[in-house]
C-alpha cells in the first residue's frame, strides 16, 4: 500500500506513547516502548471501558495542534492499534485477519477469479511466490496467501510495521483455537524487518520472487471523505510516496515473472512506464509488467 524506497532510519516515528489498557498486554507494550524509545502508560482501569471513554483518556494525554495530528499506540485485549487524534476526529486502525469482513471475502470473495489473483498470475496448480514490497496492514497479502501464494512482506513505516506484526500474532493465536485453516494461511506470510529497497538489493538469484507487488500511496482526491479511515492515517504518516517510481525499477530487476502495480483507476502510470497490459475495475486497476 505504501511505497518503500528509503532505509527505515530515514523515517521518523510519529507515535509518541504506548497506552496499555489490558493487563495481559503490558509486557508486549513495554517491549514495543523500549524498541521505539517512547513512553509507556498504564491505563488498566480502562480494560472494560467504552470506546468514548478511551478516546477521552487518550485526548487528555495527546493534545493535537491545529495543523498536525497526534499519534499513540493502544494495546488492548484485541492487540495493538494506532490512534490518530485531531481536533475533530479520532481514528483507530489495526491489522485484522479474522474479522467477519475478512472471513467473508476469504470464503465467498471469488477465489482465483478475483482481479488481484489474475493480475498476479494465480492459476489452478500455480501459486507464484510474491514479494509484497508495500505491505501496509497486509490486506492484499492475506488475499494472495489465502489463494496459496507464499508471501514475503516489507513495510518501512515503523508504526504500520508494528501493527502488521502484532496483527499476524493475534490472528495466529485466534486461529490456533478457532480455525486451523487460518493458521495455514498465515504461515505463508513472512514479514521482513527491512525496507523494500534494501531487501531487494540483498536477494540472491535463488531467493528472488516470481512476482513483486506494489501498491504505492496516491494523493487523496476531492472525495477524500469516502476513503477508508486507514487511508487518512497513512496519508498523514507518509504523505504521497514520491519515491515510488524508483521502486518500480528495482522491482523489475528482481521479479522473475512479473511486477504488479495496484493503482486507482484514474491514476497515471508509475514512472510514466507503460505496462505490458492492465486489468481495470470500477475504482482500481492493476498494471502488469511482464519480465522477460
pLDDT in tens, 217-243: 876 654 544 457 777 787 787 766 667
- Residue appearing with cell numbers 486507482: 264
Higher pLDDT, 93 or 237: 93
- The pLDDT, as a whole number, for residue 119 is 98
pTM, full prediction: 0.92
148-201 per-position pLDDT tens digit: 999 999 998 899 999 999 999 999 999 999 999 999 999 999 999 888 999 999
The answer to whether the CB of 279 falls within 8 A of the CB of 285 is yes
- The pLDDT, as a whole number, for residue 3 is 42
24-78 per-position pLDDT tens digit: 999 999 999 999 999 999 999 999 999 999 999 999 998 766 678 899 999 999 9
pLDDT tops 90 at residue 97: yes
pLDDT tops 50 at residue 5: no
Q: ∠ CA(125), CA(126), CA(127), 5° rounding?
A: 120
- The pLDDT, as a whole number, for residue 70 is 92
Q: What share of the chain is helix, strand, coil (3-state, %, to 5)?
A: 40, 20, 35
7-18 per-position pLDDT tens digit: 434 457 899 999
The answer to whether the CB of 255 falls within 8 A of the CB of 290 is no
pLDDT tops 60 at residue 245: yes
pLDDT tops 70 at residue 2: no
Q: How far apart are CA 61 and CA 71, in angstroms?
A: 11
pLDDT tops 60 at residue 125: yes
Q: ∠ CA(82), CA(141), CA(201), 5° rounding?
A: 95
Quick one: 100-290 is in which CATH superfamily?
Vaccinia Virus protein VP39 (3.40.50.150)
Amino acid at each position: 500500500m505504501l511505497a518503500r524506497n528509503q532505509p527505515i532510519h530515514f523515517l521518523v516515528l510519529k507515535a509518541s506513547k504506548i497506552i496499555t489498557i489490558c493487563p495481559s498486554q503490558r509486557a508486549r507494550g513495554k517491549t514495543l516502548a523500549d524498541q521505539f524509545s517512547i513512553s509507556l502508560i498504564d491505563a488498566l482501569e480502562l480494560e472494560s471501558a467504552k470506546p468514548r471513554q478511551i478516546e477521552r483518556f487518550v485526548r487528555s494525554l495527546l493534545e493535537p495542534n491545529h495543523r498536525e495530528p497526534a499519534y499513540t499506540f493502544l494495546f488492548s485485549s484485541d492487540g495493538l492499534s494506532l490512534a490518530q487524534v485531531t481536533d475533530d476526529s479520532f481514528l483507530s486502525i489495526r491489522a485484522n485477519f479474522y474479522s467477519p469482513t475478512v472471513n467473508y471475502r476469504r470464503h465467498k470473495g471469488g477465489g482465483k477469479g478475483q482481479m488481484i489473483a489474475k493480475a498476479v498470475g494465480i492459476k489452478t496448480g500455480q501459486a507464484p511466490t510474491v514479494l509484497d514490497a508495500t505491505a501496509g496492514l497486509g490486506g492484499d497479502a492475506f488475499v494472495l496467501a489465502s489463494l496459496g501464494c507464499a508471501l514475503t512482506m516489507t513495510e518501512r513505516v515503523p508504526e504500520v510495521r508494528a501493527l502488521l506484526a502484532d496483527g499476524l500474532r493475534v490472528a495466529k493465536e485466534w486461529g490456533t483455537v478457532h480455525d486451523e485453516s487460518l493458521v495455514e494461511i498465515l504461515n505463508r506470510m513472512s514479514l521482513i524487518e527491512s525496507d523494500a529497497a534494501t531487501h531487494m538489493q540483498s536477494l540472491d538469484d535463488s531467493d528472488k520472487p516470481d512476482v513483486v507487488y506494489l501498491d504505492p500511496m496516491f494523493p487523496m482526491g476531492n472525495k477524500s471523505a469516502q476513503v477508508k479511515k486507514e487511508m487518512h492515517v497513512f496519508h498523514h504518516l507518509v504523505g504521497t510516496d514520491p519515491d515510488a517510481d524508483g521502486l518500480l525499477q528495482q522491482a523489475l530487476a528482481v521479479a522473475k515473472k512479473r511486477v504488479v502495480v495496484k493503482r486507482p483507476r484514474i491514476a497515471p502510470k508509475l514512472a510514466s512506464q507503460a505496462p505490458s497490459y492492465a486489468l481495470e475495475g470500477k475504482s482500481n486497476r492493476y498494471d502488469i509488467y511482464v519480465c522477460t
